[in-house]
Amino acid sequence: MASPIEQATALLAIANSTLNSALSFLKSQTVVDGKVSTEKLDDHQLVAYDAAYCAAEISAANVMVGYYQTILADKGDAGAKTEELITLQFAAETLQNCRSRISTRRAGFGFDRASLASTIDSDDIDEFINEHLCAEKMAELAKLVLSHDGHVGDYMLDEEKHMMRDSFKQFAEDIVMPLAEEIHTKDLIIPDEILKPLVELGCFGLSVPMQYGGIQPDDQEDNLGMIVVTEELSRGSLGGAGSLITRPEILSRALLKGGTEEQKQHWLPKLAQAEPLCAVAVTEPNFGSDVAKMSLKATQTEGGWILNGEKTWCTFAGKAGVLMTLARTNSDPKAGHRGLSMFLVEKDATDGHEFNYVQEQGGKLTGKAIPTIGYRGMHSYTVFYDNVFVPDSHVIGGEDGIGKGFYYAMAGFAGGRIQTAARATGVMQAAFEKGLSYAQERVVFDKPIAEYQLTLFKIARMAMLLSVSRQFTYHVARLMDEGKGQMEASLVKLYSCKSSEWLCREAMQIHGGMGYAEESAVSRFYIDSRVLSIFEGAEETLAIKVIARALVEGAE
C-alpha cells in the first residue's frame, strides 16, 4: 500500500498533467502565425492568471515533497513529523485549489465534466483532500508547532549559511527591531545605526564578486546567502532593513550582465561599500510594469546624453548617490524594448522627503517622496529629469550597451523577485511569532484562544505557509546558484507574497482589537505585507505576462 507521501506525489503528478493539458488548450486559443499573441492571451486573462497560480503551487508542493524526503532520510519518522504534516496538508491544499480553479472555469481550460472526473476531480483526490485538510489533522499540526515553540521545520542550511543566519538574526533583534516602530510611525529614513553596521557585515557586497570587492564567490552566485540575510533583516523590518540590499543587488547584476570591465572595476567596489547607495529608476507613471513602453527620453549630445522625463516609485532615491535609470535612446515606437538603454545618473545624497539636485551643466534632477501607508524607512520618490546630462562613460555597456537596457534590467529583476520572496518569508516569520505568542496569552471565555479549534486551524495554516515559502525560496535560490531557476523565481515570488498577506492578516486577527492599534507590531507587518504583491513585478502582470505566457509558449 502506498504511503501518504507516495499518494501525494502521484496525485500532484495528475494535477500537473491536467495543468499541462489546460496549457495546451490555451495555446491553441492564443497562437497566431506560430506565436502566442499578446492580444489573444489577454482575451483569456482569468484562465491565464489561474494557470499561473496552479503552476506556482504545484511547483511548491513538489519542492515540499523533496524537502520532507530529505528530512526523513536524515531524522527518521519521529524527527520528521512536523515536516510530514506540513507537506501533506500543503499537497492537499494545492490539489483543492487547482481543482477549484479548473473546475469552476472548466470550459476556459478546455475540459468537460467527465474529463475532470477522471483527473483533477477524481475520487482519489477528493479523499486525499478530505483526509489531510480535516480539522483533526490541522489541529495536530498546530499543537505540535505550539509544543515546539513555533518550530515549523528544519532550515536545511549548511554550517556557513547557519552562521550567516545567526549573525543577521542577532543584528535584526538587537539593532533593527528597537528602531522599527519609530521608523514606521514617524516615516523616518533608515538611520546610520542600521546602515553602517550592515556595511561592515558585508551586506551590500552579497551580490558583488570577490574580485570586485564583494563577498560573493568569483566562480558562482550566492543567491542562497543573499536570501538568508534578506529573510532575517525583513523579520526585523521590511522597510527599515529587509529591502536595503535589493537595489545594489539589481544594479550589480545589471553591471555583471552588460557592464564594461572598466565600469565593473569602478562601480562594483563602491556598491559593496554602499558608497554610494543606489536606487532603481525604471517605472513610469503611465506604464507601470510595461517596461517596453518606457518613454523617458535620452538624446545624444557631445560626450554623452541628455535625459528628460519622469520616473516614479524610485525607492531610496533621496539617500542614493546614483540612480540606475532606464531611458529610451531610440524614439521609434516600433523599437519597443530594443530602444532602451541603461544609464547611471549621479546625484547628491539627502535624508529628506524632497531633493533638488542641479548639475554644473544646468540639468536638474528633482524628487518628492510619495506618502505610503507602509514600507517606510526607504521612501519611494517620483523623480523628474530636466535636461540631465549623463556622460558616455555612464551608459551601462558603453556604446555596445545602447539598446540593451531592457535585458540588463531583466537580469537584475530576476534576483529582485527571489529576494522579494525572501522578504515575504521574513515578514511572515515576524508575524507568525507575534501571533503564536499572543494566541497563548490572550484568554477568552476562560481559556487561551490557542486552545480553540478555529485558532488551531489558523496556526496550522500559518505554519504551513511559512514553511513552504521558506523552502520554496531556498530551493529556487539553489537553482539560481547553478545558473537556472529564472521561471521558478517568478513562481516563488507570486506564491510567497500573496501567502505573506494572508498570514499577516491572521496574525493581526488573532490580536483582536490590539492588532488594529498602531502600537502593535502586527499592524505594521500587515501593512508592509501588502506591498509585496505590488513591487518587483505586480501580481497580475507577473502571473499573466511572465509566467502564463512562458507556460503557454512551452506547452506541447
Average pLDDT over residues 307-315: 95
| Residue 448 in this model has a pLDDT that exceeds 90 | yes
pLDDT digits (tens, 9 = 90+) for 490-545: 999 999 999 999 999 999 999 999 999 988 999 999 999 999 999 877 899 999 99
Mean per-residue pLDDT for 103-123? Answer: 94
| Cβ neighbours for 403, distance < 8 A, ≥ 6 positions apart | 329, 330, 335, 338, 339, 340, 341
Question: Considering only CA atoms, which of 85, 133, 76, 95 is closest in space to residue 14?
Answer: 95
Q: Which of 221, 232, 433, 536 is catalytic?
A: 536
The model's pTM: 0.94
Span 136-182, pLDDT tens digits: 999 999 999 999 999 999 999 999 999 999 999 999 999 999 999 99
Residue 220: its pLDDT value, please? 86
pLDDT score, position 409: 87
Just give the CATH number of 4-133. 1.20.140.10
Give me the percent of the chain exceeding a pLDDT of 70.
99
Residue 291 has pLDDT above 80, yes or no: no
- Residue 288: the pLDDT is 59
**Over the stretch 325-340, which tens digit does the pLDDT of each residue have?**
999 999 887 777 889 9
What's the rounded mean pLDDT across residues 371-382?
93
Please tell me the predicted confidence (pLDDT) of residue 292.
Answer: 64
Q: Is the pLDDT of residue 397 over 90?
A: yes
Q: How many residues are there in the chain?
A: 556
136 is known as an active-site residue: no
pLDDT at 289 exceeding the cut of 70: no
- pLDDT in the model for residue 1: 77
State the span(s) of the chain assigned CATH 2.40.110.10: 278-407
The answer on pLDDT for 13 being more than 80 is yes
Cα(287)–Cα(303) distance, integer angstroms: 30
Arithmetic mean of pLDDT, 18-25: 96
- For the domain covering 278-407, report its CATH number: 2.40.110.10
- Mean pLDDT value of segment 439-459: 94
Confidence of residue 365 (pLDDT cuts 50, 70, 90): very high
8 Å CB contact between 137 and 131: yes
Mean pLDDT of 215-232: 92
pLDDT of residue 290: 63
Q: Which one, of 76, 191, 88, lies nearest residue 141 by Cα?
A: 88
Pair 525, 508: CB distance under 8 Å: yes
- Predicted confidence at residue 254, as pLDDT, reads 93
What average pLDDT does this structure show over 442-469? 95
What pLDDT was estimated at residue 287? 66
Those residues whose C-beta lies under 8 Å from the C-beta of residue 79, and which sit 6 or more positions away, are 71
Task: In the chain, list all ranges with CATH 1.20.140.10.
Answer: 4-133
